[in-house]
Structure 1
Amino acid sequence: MIGSIRIWITLLLFVVATLVMAPLQMLVLKTGLFLKPGTLPRWWHGVVVKVLGLRVHVRGQIATQRPLLIASNHISWTDVMVVGSLADVAFIAKSDVAGWPVFGALAKLQRTVFVERDRKGKSGDQAGEIAGRLAGNDVVVLFAEGSTGDGNHLLPFKSTLFGAARLALGHGNAETVFIQPVAIAYTKLHGMPMGRQHRVVASWIGDADLVPHLMMLLREGAMDVEVQFGEPMEFTAASDRKQVTRRVERQVRAMMTEALQTRQRAR
């Protein structure tokens, strides 16, 4: 009974926040007036994070250098809300997200870059669009695993879209693109440290249906999530894309492991 009440209250607050902010964001994108394009999405994500019962703990801070590409691990659709509540950012998402009911429209309002990861022939054009955003001083978030993990292990990072960093060097006068590793870890449920078996509440893996996972999350609520910002790495014309990808991956894995082990020791 309590779970059902929570679901309806959460959905109501979500609808209200969206109906207020979505038209305003449309106006901002159309006119370029009043606010920066990323401001309202950040506010909206902040509301949604609170409504979902996510308690976000941050270590470190987003880098001030520009152009900036954030490379993060990916556990669930909630990662977008968590990271989006912390800064004015644009996301990279799979092309099929654009067709999702409600979420697709919201992603477009946040100026998400949609990519077709399985079509190698388009990777150059897609990296070029990301590079243009970086050159325009947008902070772009790349979920570098290319899919969602289970929250316990990190999947290998895909190096292809890191090529956007090299292309961004050809836009404007940028001689360096900064890539900042970010680790996301879901660590507590109802105030108690999560074990491996409980992290399924947070994780949304692969092609799993969104609605059942959304309902489970709304029913459970009260999760703690840690976001750790690592030290940004410089990417220049002399950098090797695959080597940089591996370095970023190692740092994200180390930060994620630290967050999970710290919470396990706290039990």
Structure 2
Amino acid sequence: MMRLRAATVLATLTVVTLPLIPVQWLALRLKGGLKRSLPVVWHRIACRTVGIRVREIGKPARERPLLIVANHVSWLDITVLGSRMPLSFVAKTEVASWPVFGLFAKLQRSVFVDRQRRSATGRTAEELGTRLASGDAMVLFAEGTSNSGNEVLPFRSALIGAARHALAGDDGEMWIQPLALAYTHLHGLPMGRQFRPHVAWYGDMEMVPHFMNVVRQGAVDVAVVWGEPIRVRPDMDRKTLTRLLEDEVRRLAGNVRAGHPPAGPELPPAAPAADVPAEAGEPAILKAAENG
């Protein structure tokens, strides 16, 4: 039965995906909002087909420019978040060369960053700043890697600071919204620490076997928790800002894993945005990249 389910899921995704690839490829070369909205349709179909049920708590910010800073658990995160709203992602350069997934990342209009070469941060920040200024909501997995889903790893500050500086030539402000992902149930039962590797993809796990296991099993529940957006000024210290975002994402993810968030589908609307205390002498993009 599990093999039959896997075959059915893969066949359905293939039938849906093949006609949409040339449409999205053409949309990327034309003006209009189709290139933003079409991936949302695909991700929603994929979630339903695979058996991923998303519970959204809180709401994404309407303000722009908007950078969304999230924890990273699995390759599933892309489909889960992509099903919520038009988004693009900041991805490591290796993803661009992956079979199938690399093509999807390009069609999603991802910004690729070489994390091994700090000298490339300035170029990535410029591209990221251009996309943010154009109104695209961008997602940055600030841990720099995925993890077991039982924790949130320390956030890296370089790209957060670089993205902020890339927008300094506009109105000098941007919005950053913390977001927590937590995979909570498998086949309707609380997942628990020992079962989270079913969906968590990290370490030296191979992609294809992990992907096929998720497809065969299905029936995954995930919570997407939106934190309060932060109005960011050009003079804010990037490391202070990064610590604030890391602490908030860790708190949100920990609460939902422990079953503490409200039982309803959404939290009340977010309170007015918080400000982060400024610290003098914040370095420019390249120096921020060097300090990592």
TM-score (norm 2): 0.87
**Does structure 2 retain, via aligned residues, the 8 Å contact 1:135–1:168?**
no
Tell me the equivalent position of 2:37: 39
Distance (Å, rounded) in 1 between the aligned partners of 2:50 and 2:168: 41
Match status 1:104 vs 2:102: yes
Contact 2:121 2:162 survives alignment (8 Å)? no
Aligned length: 262
Displacement of 1:32 in angstroms is 2.0
What is the distance in 2 between the residues matched to 1:189 and 1:18? Answer: 26
Residue 206 (str. 1) matches residue 203 (str. 2): yes
**Matching of residue 217 in structure 1 with residue 191 in structure 2:** no
Could you tell me how far 1:165 is from its partner in structure 2?
3.0
Are residue 188 (structure 1) and residue 185 (structure 2) matched?
A: yes
Does structure 1 retain, via aligned residues, the 8 Å contact 2:168–2:234? no
Residue in 2 aligned with 1:231? Answer: 228
Q: For residue 41 of structure 2, what is the amino acid of its counterpart?
A: W
Distance 1:185 1:38 in 2: 25
Q: How far apart, CA to CA, are the structure 1 residues paired with 2:129 and 2:64?
A: 12
- Provide the C-alpha distance between the structure 2 equivalents of 1:146 and 1:182, rounded to a whole number of angstroms: 15
Displacement after TM superposition at 1:31 (Å) = 2.1
- After the TM superposition, which of the residue ranges 162-171 and 194-203 deviates more from structure 2? 162-171
**1:256 counterpart residue number:** 253
> What letter corresponds to residue 24 of structure 2 in structure 1?
Q
What aligned pairs does 1:139-158 form with structure 2 within 5 A after superposition? 139-158=137-156
Deviation (angstroms), 1:191: 0.3
| % identity of equivalent residues | 45
Which of the residues 73, 90, 103 maps onto 1:75? Answer: 73
Distance 2:30 2:139 in 1: 25
> Separation in 1 of the partners of 2:244 and 2:39?
30
Aligned residue for 1:30, secondary structure, equals coil
Q: Do structure 1's residue 168 and structure 2's residue 177 form an aligned pair?
A: no
Is the CA contact (8 Å cut-off) linking 1:180 and 1:231 kept in structure 2?
Answer: yes
Alpha-carbon shift at residue 263 of structure 1 (Å): 7.3
Shift of 1:102: 0.9
Distance in 2, matches of 1:254 and 1:27, equals: 41
Is the partner of 1:38 in helix, strand or coil?
Answer: helix
Name the residue aligned to 1:9.
8
**Residues 126 and 163 in structure 2, CA contact (< 8 A), matched pair in contact too:** no
Two-structure CA RMSD over aligned residues (Å): 1.5
1:28 CA drift (Å) = 0.9
Q: Match of 2:49, as an amino acid?
A: V
Looking at structure 2, the residues matched to 165 and 124 of structure 1 have their Cα atoms a distance apart, in angstroms, of: 9
* Aligned counterpart, 2:49: 51
C-alpha distance in 2, partners of 1:164/1:65? 20
Q: What are structure 1's unaligned runs of at least 5 residues?
A: none
> How many angstroms apart in 1 are the aligned matches of 2:183 and 2:256?
9
Structure 2 CA distance for aligned equivalents of residues 211 and 164 of structure 1 = 34
Match of 1:23 in 2: 22
Aligned counterparts of 1:51 and 1:66: Cα–Cα separation in 2? 32
Q: Deviations over 1:74-127 (max 9, x none)?
A: 000000000000010110111010001111111111110011111111111111
63 and 250 in structure 1: CA distance in 2 versus 1, 3 angstrom threshold: same
Write the distance in 1 (CA, Å) between the matches of 2:167 and 2:215.
43
Alpha-carbon separation, structure 2, partners of 1:194 and 1:263: 15
3-state SS of the aligned residue for 2:29? helix
CA apart distance, 1:176: 1.1
**Partners of 1:188 and 1:94 in 2: CA distance:** 29
The alignment partner of 1:216 has SS state of helix
Which structure 2 segments of 5+ residues have no match? 264-292
Residues in 2 aligned to 1:37 and 1:74: alpha-carbon distance in whole angstroms: 24
Tell me, yes or no, if the aligned pair for 1:73 and 1:143 is still in contact at 8 Å: yes
- State the distance in 1 between where 2:38 and 2:173 align: 29
1:167 Cα deviation from its structure 2 partner: 2.5
1:65 counterpart residue number: 63
Native 8 Å contact 1:168 1:174 kept in 2: no
**Alpha-carbon distance in 1 for matches of 2:230, 2:18:** 39
SS at match of 1:262: coil
